[in-house]
């Protein structure tokens, strides 16, 4: 009963706000109820995948796009900017099922230790999150055991997302620079 009344109130509000906005189509801003966007209960999801940073070979997925004059002589490659479209897989092998891609860039932003600025979107292509994205913005001290980066937003099923990603290097080929990184992502969303 109480639920019915709430629903009635929400639909009445929706109806009146629709009328209001037809009449005032140039209104810049308004407040609305979360229900009007279909937002119900906030959920917490855990995603687990492996990130393949392929810098070598004929088909790299991470390419150097910019550098400073000092980058090659800097012990931390300060100023390096790399654009990536890295596959994300279910298991540690590149041949395992692809669940998405990490698209964006990382750059060396630390003079005294290796600390990357990560600016990336995870674009998921499997299961219920197919077509949804998460946006990451954070610091990645790649030689630490566990690195934590904030999830600052998302799209589709991840609208209003916030959370964090934890990265652990699974394997690193010191000769080629290719790396496989295990990710655990914890995210609140609707």
Size of the site for ligand NAG (CB under 6 A): 6
- Local structure of 72: helix, strand or coil: helix
Q: Of 13 and 68, which has the nearer Cβ to ligand NAG?
A: 68
Site for ligand NAG in 21-60 (CB under 6 A): none
Minimum distance from residue 99 beta carbon to ligand NAG (Å) = 9
Residues 6 or more apart whose Cβ sits within 8 Å of residue 159: 189, 190
Q: Of 12 and 56, which has the nearer Cβ to ligand NAG?
A: 56
Residues 6 or more apart whose Cβ sits within 8 Å of residue 118: 104, 106, 136, 137, 138, 139, 140, 149
Q: Among 174, 123, 119, 116, which residue's Cα sits nearest to residue 144?
A: 116
Residue 15 and residue 171: Cα distance in Å, rounded? 56
Residue 167 and residue 188: Cα distance in Å, rounded? 18
Minimum distance from residue 67 beta carbon to ligand NAG (Å) = 6
Residue 104 and residue 86: Cα distance in Å, rounded? 9
Which residues does residue 180 pair with via DSSP β-bridges, in sequence order?
52, 171
Q: Of 125 and 155, which has the nearer Cβ to ligand NAG?
A: 125
Site for ligand NAG in 97-136 (CB under 6 A): 125-126, 130-131
Minimum distance from residue 97 beta carbon to ligand NAG (Å) = 9
How many other C-beta atoms are found inside a 10 Å radius of the C-beta of residue 37? 11
Minimum distance from residue 129 beta carbon to ligand NAG (Å) = 10
Contact string (CB under 6 A) for ligand NAG, positions 53-72, x = contact: --------------x----x
Minimum distance from residue 2 beta carbon to ligand NAG (Å) = 38
The site for ligand NAG (CB under 6 A) is made up of 67, 72, 125-126, 130-131
């Amino acid at each position: 009963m109480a639920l019915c009344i709430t629903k009635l109130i929400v639909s009445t509000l929706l109806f009146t706000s629709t009328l209001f906005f037809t009449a005032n189509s140039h209104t810049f801003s308004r407040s609305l109820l979360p229900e009007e966007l279909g937002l119900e209960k906030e959920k917490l999801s855990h995603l687990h995948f492996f990130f393949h940073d392929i810098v070598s070979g004929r088909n790299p997925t991470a390419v150097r796009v910019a550098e400073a004059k000092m980058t090659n002589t800097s012990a931390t490659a300060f100023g390096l900017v790399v654009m990536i479209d890295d596959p994300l897989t279910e298991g540690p092998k590149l041949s395992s099922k692809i669940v998405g891609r990490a698209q964006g860039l990382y750059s060396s932003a630390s003079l005294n230790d290796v600390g990357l600025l990560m600016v990336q979107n995870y674009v998921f292509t499997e299961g219920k999150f197919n077509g949804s994205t998460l946006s990451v913005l954070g610091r990645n001290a790649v030689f630490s055991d566990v690195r934590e980066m904030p999830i600052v937003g998302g799209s589709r099923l991840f609208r209003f997302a916030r959370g964090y990603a934890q990265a652990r290097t699974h394997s690193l080929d010191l000769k080629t620079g290719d790396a496989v990184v295990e990710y655990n992502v914890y995210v609140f969303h609707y």
